[in-house]
């Protein structure tokens, strides 16, 4: 029966969000035929809002053309999947909420109109989905309709710590390396990262460096700062298989986020890079996220001060406790969801 069932897994920024890839691999291991989709974003030039809108329209037509029995949709941006729910017929749809999209739209664009439109779409999709999955336990509290959602955390795969690609990265003995991995955007705490970069720029040169692996809407500005600083390295986006090499060489993993209406929804379950830092036993310093025993959680306004204290040795971050692997925990949850879909 499994061989006759096709499951399509959708993720708009597929190669930057490994969750969908892990889900597709898990379903393949379970014997299903898988179609994995990510947007090609053909419109590369023009104002960001217009460019994004045109790419969303293009993506809508692409996802509508994919044929499958079960659709596993990773949200963000939800709007491109709207017609799949309007015209789903007898298809079963699993709505995988890895983040509160409408609230992110409001935080990123500061627009109440866009926020209201996004939330209407979001609530409609939640209502029409066959099953709801969330990436962290706090996300079940976002809407009353999510209280029965199944939590499938973004835990790292076992193979992540076995991937030691020998990329040529200079590491200087005796220096504490503070590493940021991820998208550089307002929502992801770019302002805090910029503040840290400015505070460390050409200070503590002999004892500390800030490494930035990633890019995004504010990446160009962050890179312009890094070019002026001997102890700040901007690597941009790197191939997925290279990320473990950076983490292995680092002393601390950073998760700098603003404290806002989104903070309560994110913890070690949902933020993928936290699990990756922890899988290498790296102490994690975070801000603007939900409390967790897996990291030092500080006030966003104190982020750069705490990093300076870590450099001076005045503050210590304990090695985090062991975190389950994707195979040990999350794969079982994926199987449970699919089994429930077959019973519907």
Q: Using one digit for the tens of pLDDT, what is the confidence trace for 258-310? A: 888 889 999 999 999 999 999 999 999 999 999 999 999 999 999 999 999 99
What domain range includes position 63?
2-155+326-343
pLDDT tens per residue across span 66-93: 999 999 999 988 989 999 999 888 899 9
Q: Are 210 and 197 in contact (CB under 8 A)?
A: yes
- The beta-carbon contacts of 125-128 under 8 Å, at least 24 apart in sequence, are 125/75, 125/78, 125/81, 125/82, 125/85, 125/95, 126/95, 128/85, 128/88, 128/93
Is 317 domain-assigned? Answer: no
| Euclidean distance between the first and the last CA atom of the chain, given in angstroms as a whole number | 16
Q: Which residues contact 13 (CB under 8 A, 6 or more apart)?
A: 38, 39, 76
- The rounded distance, in Å, linking the Cα atoms of 295 and 321 is 9
In the structure encoding, which two tokens stand for residue 197, read together? 């970069």
pLDDT of residue 192: 95
pLDDT of residue 150: 96
- For residues 179 and 271, membership in a common domain is answered with yes
**Mean of the per-residue pLDDT values of the chain:** 91
- For residues 164 and 25, membership in a common domain is answered with no
Is 166 domain-assigned? Answer: yes
- For residues 197 and 273, membership in a common domain is answered with yes
Is 164 domain-assigned? Answer: yes
Q: Are 285 and 295 in contact (CB under 8 A)?
A: yes
- CB-CB neighbours of 275 under 10 Å: 24
- The rounded distance, in Å, linking the Cα atoms of 237 and 273 is 14
pTM of the model: 0.86
Distances (CA, A) of 227 to 169, 184, 221, 246: 17, 16, 10, 19
Instruction: Determine the average pLDDT of the residues in 240-266.
Output: 91
pLDDT of residue 89: 85
Is 319 domain-assigned? Answer: no
More confident site: 49 or 114: 114
Instruction: Determine the average pLDDT of the residues in 161-174.
Output: 63
- For residues 113 and 201, membership in a common domain is answered with no
- For residues 113 and 242, membership in a common domain is answered with no
Q: Number of structural domains, the chain? A: 2
Helix (H, G, I), strand (E, B) or coil at 21: helix
> Does position 314 have pLDDT exceeding 90, yes or no?
yes
Is 215 domain-assigned? Answer: yes
Q: Are 204 and 312 in contact (CB under 8 A)?
A: no
- For residues 300 and 236, membership in a common domain is answered with yes
- For residues 86 and 212, membership in a common domain is answered with no
Is 22 domain-assigned? Answer: yes
CATH of residue 171's domain is: 3.40.50.2000
- For residues 42 and 184, membership in a common domain is answered with no
Instruction: Determine the average pLDDT of the residues in 30-53.
Output: 91
Instruction: Determine the average pLDDT of the residues in 152-175.
Output: 75
> Roughly what angle, to the nearest 10 degrees, separates helices 101-109 and 112-128?
170
- The rounded distance, in Å, linking the Cα atoms of 197 and 193 is 6
- For residues 144 and 19, membership in a common domain is answered with yes
pLDDT tens per residue across span 208-218: 999 999 999 89
- For residues 58 and 121, membership in a common domain is answered with yes
Does the CA dihedral 260-265-268-272 come out positive or negative?
negative
- The rounded distance, in Å, linking the Cα atoms of 237 and 204 is 26
- Which residues are 298's β-sheet partners? 287
Is 321 domain-assigned? Answer: no
Nearest partner of 257 among 294, 298, 293, judged by Cα: 298
- For residues 56 and 140, membership in a common domain is answered with yes
In the structure encoding, which two tokens stand for residue 118, read together? 């996004």
- For residues 185 and 213, membership in a common domain is answered with yes
Is 318 domain-assigned? Answer: no
């Amino acid at each position: 029966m499994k061989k006759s069932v096709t499951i399509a897994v959708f993720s708009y920024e597929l190669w930057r969000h490994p969750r969908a890839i892990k889900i597709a691999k898990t379903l393949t291991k379970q014997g299903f035929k898988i179609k994995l989709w990510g947007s090609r974003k053909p419109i590369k030039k023009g104002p960001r809002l217009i460019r994004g809108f045109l790419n969303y329209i293009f993506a809508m037509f692409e996802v509508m053309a994919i044929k499958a029995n079960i659709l596993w949709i990773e949200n963000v941006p939800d709007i491109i999947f709207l017609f799949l729910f309007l015209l789903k017929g007898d298809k079963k749809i699993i709505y995988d909420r890895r983040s509160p999209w409408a609230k992110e739209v409001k935080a990123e664009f500061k627009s109440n109109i866009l926020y209201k439109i996004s939330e209407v779409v979001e609530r409609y999709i939640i209502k029409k989905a066959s099953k709801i999955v969330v990436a962290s336990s706090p996300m079940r509290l976002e809407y009353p309709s999510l209280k029965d959602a199944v939590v499938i955390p973004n835990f790292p795969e076992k193979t992540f710590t076995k991937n030691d690609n020998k990329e040529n990265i200079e590491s200087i003995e005796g220096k504490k390396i503070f590493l940021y991995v991820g998208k550089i955007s307002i929502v992801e705490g770019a302002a805090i990262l910029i503040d840290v970069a400015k505070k460390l720029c050409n200070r503590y040169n002999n004892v500390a460096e800030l490494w930035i692996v990633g890019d995004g809407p504010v990446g160009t500005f962050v890179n312009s700062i890094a070019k002026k600083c001997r102890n700040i390295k901007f690597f941009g986006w790197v191939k997925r298989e290279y990320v473990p090499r950076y983490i292995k060489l680092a002393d601390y993993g950073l998760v700098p986020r603003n404290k806002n209406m989104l903070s309560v929804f994110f913890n070690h379950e949902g933020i993928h890079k936290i699990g990756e830092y922890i899988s290498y036993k790296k102490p994690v310093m975070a801000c603007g996220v939900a409390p967790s025993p897996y990291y030092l959680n500080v006030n966003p306004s104190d982020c750069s001060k705490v990093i300076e204290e870590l450099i001076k040795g005045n503050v210590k971050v304990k090695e985090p406790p062991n975190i389950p692997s994707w195979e040990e925990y999350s794969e079982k949850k994926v199987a449970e969801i699919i089994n429930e879909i077959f019973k519907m």
